[in-house]
Amino acid sequence: MSFFKKLKDKITNQTETVTTKFKDGLSKTRDSFVGQMNELVKDYRKVDEEFFEELEDILISADVGVNTVMQLIDELKDEARRRNISQAEDIQPVISEKLAEMLQKEEDESELNMQKNAMTVILFVGVNGVGKTTTIGKMAHKFREEGKKVVLAAGDTFRAGAIEQLEVWGERAGVDVVKQQAGSDPAAVMYDAVQSAKSKGADVLLCDTAGRLQNKVNLMNELEKVKRVISREIPDAPHEVLLVLDATTGQNAMSQAKTFSKSTDVSGIVLTKLDGTAKGGIVLAIRNELDIPVKFVGLGEGMDDLQQFQADQYVHGLFADVLHEAEEAAAERE
C-alpha cells in the first residue's frame, strides 16, 4: 500500500476536528516550507545534487536543524536510488514519508503515562514566557472534559503574578489550585498540593514550577528538590515531566531543551505557539536530535487548541495538498 494511501486511511479514521486544527495551525509553516518546496520542484524537475542542496537550504530555513537535515538528505538520496526516482515531483511523497518516520519512532509515544486507579502527577518545567502556565490551564480543561478530577499546584512562587495567573486558569477550567504566598518554598507548595490532591481524591495533579533562565544552576537544583518531595510522597511520581517550549524561538528552544534534558528527566515536550511560526520544522529537530517525544502542541489561543501531537496529523497538515496531487498522479499512472 502506498504511503499516501496509508496516511489517508489513518487520518480518515480520526476526527475531522483534529485534522482541521493541525492543518490550520500549521498554515504559516506550510505556506513557507511547502511553498518553497513546490518552487524547487518546478525549477529543477530532475533529482540531482543541486536539487538536494537547495532542499537542504529550505529545510534548514524551516528550523529543522542541521544534523537532522543531513540525516534526512542522506536517507532521501538512498531512497531515490533504491526506488529509481529521477523526477523531482516523485520525491515529494518520499520526503513526507521520511518526516513521519523521524517524528514518531514508537507507537503511542505521544500518550501520557496515566495511572490506573491512582493519581497521576505531571510536572511542568520550562523558562519564563514559553506559555507554561497557559499550557497547564488548557491541560486541566482537557482532563476536566474527560471527567477527571484535577488539582493544580502553584509552584512558580518567584515570577510576579504567576500564582494569580494559575488561579485564573483554575477558575476557567473549574479546578482547585493549591498555593502559598509569593516567594514561598516551591517544594513546600508541592507537599501541600500532593496532600490536598490525595484528600480530594484527585485523578490528576498538574504542577507548575519556576522558570527563571535555564543557565542558572539553582533553578535546576530547585526542580530536583521539587521532584524529590513529590517522589517521597508518591514513590513513582512524577509520572511525566513535560518541558514546555515556545516554537517561535526556533533554535533557542533546542538550546533550552538540551539544558533541561541534561539536568532533569524530561519525558516529553509540549511545543506551544506552533501556529505562530513559519518554522514548524523545529518539531523535527527536537524529536530527532534529543530523542524526546513531542507529546502536545499548541495550535491556537482557544481552550481546546492544545492538541496531542500526532506525526501523521503533522505531516498531513503540511503536505495535504501535495499528497493529494501525488495520489492522483499515481492513480493516473496505474
The reply, when asked if residue 131 is annotated as ligand binding, is yes
The reply, when asked if residue 132 is annotated as ligand binding, is yes
The reply, when asked if residue 129 is annotated as ligand binding, is yes
The reply, when asked if residue 170 is annotated as ligand binding, is no
The reply, when asked if residue 15 is annotated as ligand binding, is no
Helix residue ranges, H only, the chain: 3-12, 16-25, 27-29, 35-44, 49-61, 66-82, 88-103, 132-145, 162-173, 186-200, 217-233, 251-263, 282-290, 311-333
The reply, when asked if residue 297 is annotated as ligand binding, is no
Which residues are CB-contacts of 119 (< 8 A; sequence separation ≥ 6)?
197, 198, 202, 203, 204, 205, 234, 237
Q: Residue 24 corresponds to which cell in the numbers above?
A: 490550520
The reply, when asked if residue 155 is annotated as ligand binding, is no
Contact yes or no for 146/313 (Cβ under 8 A): no
**3-class state of residue 151 by DSSP:** strand
Q: Residue 261 corresponds to which cell in the numbers above?
A: 534534558
The reply, when asked if residue 217 is annotated as ligand binding, is no
Place of cell 529509481: 84
The reply, when asked if residue 212 is annotated as ligand binding, is yes
The reply, when asked if residue 208 is annotated as ligand binding, is yes
Kindly give the pairing relationship between strand 294-298 and strand 306-308. antiparallel
- Tell the burial category of 31 from Cβ atoms under 10 Å away from its Cβ (0-12, 13-18, 19+): exposed
Which amino acid is present at 262?
A: K
The reply, when asked if residue 179 is annotated as ligand binding, is no
The reply, when asked if residue 322 is annotated as ligand binding, is no
HSE-up (13 A, CA, CB side) for residue 257: 28
Place of cell 472534559: 145
Contact yes or no for 288/320 (Cβ under 8 A): no
- CB-CB neighbours of 96 under 10 Å: 23
Contact yes or no for 162/208 (Cβ under 8 A): yes
Q: What are phi and psi of 260, to 5 degrees?
A: -65, -40
Which amino acid is present at 324?
A: H
The reply, when asked if residue 274 is annotated as ligand binding, is yes
Q: How far is it, in rounded angstroms, from Cα 8 to Cα 252?
A: 34
Q: How far is it, in rounded angstroms, from Cα 220 to Cα 41?
A: 47
DSSP 287: H
Binding-site residues sit at 126-133, 208-212, 272-275
Binding-site residues for GTP sit at 126-133, 208-212, 272-275
